[in-house]
Structure 1
């Protein structure tokens, strides 16, 4: 997947100045030298550990509060439209139809209109907070977030949604592309995570505040499914890594069409009676 290498380098340098992630020790024409971190990368099961989960929540708040270069406004919708256009330029007519790409412009417009950006906080988001991008020092219990290729300003609820969605993945299994949505965090787990997230600023959040952010984050999972669905579809055409990108994309789009009627019961709908656009990816039986 294409991303701006210059933006990634700028982000890394700024993160280093803020004391986040590995320190930047030097740069040369074709790369850079980073600090070695005495820590281990998390596993899929670590995300479900209440203690580690609370540490991640606290680190996310710290990350979201960073004052980073760039316009402090949502980048999500612009990137979604860019990736959709890129996917359309790559895909065969069969894939374009099967993955419902022709209706996604309208879906993105709908999400941008219905998700309450004006009522929520924009922060500097990691946007790819899967377990492989989180490290922990076993002695100090300090959490370090790494790999900032997709980092940008976005609604913090979107970053929370992304983290919750990543809890269904195990990229070190025999079938790393398969997502097990039975592992999606329960309401109690999401409430606990967001309570820890909001508490990290030193003020005890109310049940209403926790509930509101839980609900907004859940709605943002729809945008997250489109984001990584498009990523998987594009990657299936441009990457040669042994990973079933197209099946991964199918699962993410499937979740979008399954969850949209539930999360937006009263929203405008261009879906069929089965909950998916005609001719596109249908839910598994």
Structure 2
């Protein structure tokens, strides 16, 4: 009679919990059992997070003994079919390296089709944030730091091989009519032309290659920037990574037409100069 009641988890939470693989649940329960402030390792709240494009992502919370949700982790369940776009094993190795370097969330555990990560107490940026005059310089400085990371292995630019691999896959999927409509043969010629024109004296660094607003987080208290999600990360010309980030300023993936860029939002010359000035002025391991 005098004992405290267990926290109530509603049916909707139970349904969400069913979306977590059994293997991951066992790891989560084992993890929570080591925390003295967790009321019951078997009682967890599953909150789906929006914005991820290639994975299902969930915030996991446990009630503490004071009946407040305190412990949090993030569960990432890998999406199906994404191997067309990137190599999952390469992405996992990159994530583990970044975790050891103190970049991004800490890796807690892995399971067969996903992983458990540290939950970062920061907010994900919005489309408009990329052009915010106070936030954009923070991104520029962080990107310079990112480009200076030294991952083991080849430092060869991966851009051209990746484009050709994507094009090869597109040709196997598309019908002849679709190939003609999308001018796939012309794209192959353009890749070769660009490689010839741009493969000269290019500074190569470790690039994110997908620096859209959903992959950037900011701590509201310290204004520190964290770059996340390294599926496409590889060595490339750093100019490509910067240019791609400028293109992402024209994107809004939370509209009815997320695949259509609004190039009226592309940064003008002065805005690009300001970004580059901060980038070039920032400290980092990258030698310019």
Answer whether TM exceeds 0.5 for this pair: yes
Match of 1:105? Answer: 188
Q: What do you get for the CA RMSD once the two structures are aligned?
A: 1.4
1 CA distance for matches of 2:122 and 2:204? Answer: 30
Which of 225, 228, 247 is 1:143 aligned to? 225
1:199 corresponds, among 281, 284, 288, to 281
Q: Give the number of the structure whose residues are more often helix, by fraction.
A: 1
Q: CA deviation at 1:76?
A: 0.4
Q: Aligned partners of 1:128 and 1:111: how far apart in 2?
A: 19
Kindly state the Cα deviation for residue 31 of structure 1 after the two structures are TM-superposed: 2.7
| Pair 1:89-2:172 in alignment | yes
- CA deviations on 1:145-191 (whole Å, 9 max, x unpaired) are 11100000000000001100111111112332221111111001111
Aligned residues: 202
Which structure 1 segments of 5+ residues have no match? 203-208, 210-285
Cα deviation digits, residues 66-122 of structure 1 (max 9, x gap)? 01133101000011111111111111111101111112222111101111x332210
Counterparts of 1:60 and 1:76 in 2: how far apart (Å)? Answer: 18
Q: Does 1:27 align with 2:110?
A: yes
What is the SS of the residue equivalent to 2:209?
A: coil
Query: For residues 103 and 84 of structure 1, what CA distance do their matches in structure 2 show?
Result: 11
Partners in 2 of 1:112 and 1:30 — Cα distance? 35
Question: Counterpart of 1:25 in 2: which secondary structure?
Answer: strand
Which runs of structure 2 are paired with 1:12-51 in the superposition (5 Å)? 12-51=95-134
Q: Counterpart of 1:135 in 2: which secondary structure?
A: strand
Larger Rg: 2
Distance 1:176 1:105, change over 3 A: closer
**1:67 corresponds to which of 150, 169, 190:** 150
Residue 73 of structure 2 is matched in structure 1 by: none
In structure 1, the partner of 2:254 is: 172
Instruction: Answer yes or no: is 1:124 the counterpart of 2:206.
Output: yes
> Alignment partner of 1:72: what SS?
coil
Quote the residue 2:25 is aligned against. none
Closer/same/farther in 2, CA of residues 13 and 49 from structure 1, 3 Å limit: same
CA distance in 2, matches of 1:177, 1:84: 18
TM-score normalised to structure 2 length: 0.68
List alignment gaps of at least 5 residues for structure 2.
1-81
Question: Counterpart of 2:140?
Answer: 57
**2-side partners of 1:83 and 1:176: how far apart?**
20
Mark the CA change 1:56 to 1:87 in structure 2 (over 3 Å): closer, same or farther. same
- In structure 2, the partner of 1:187 is 269
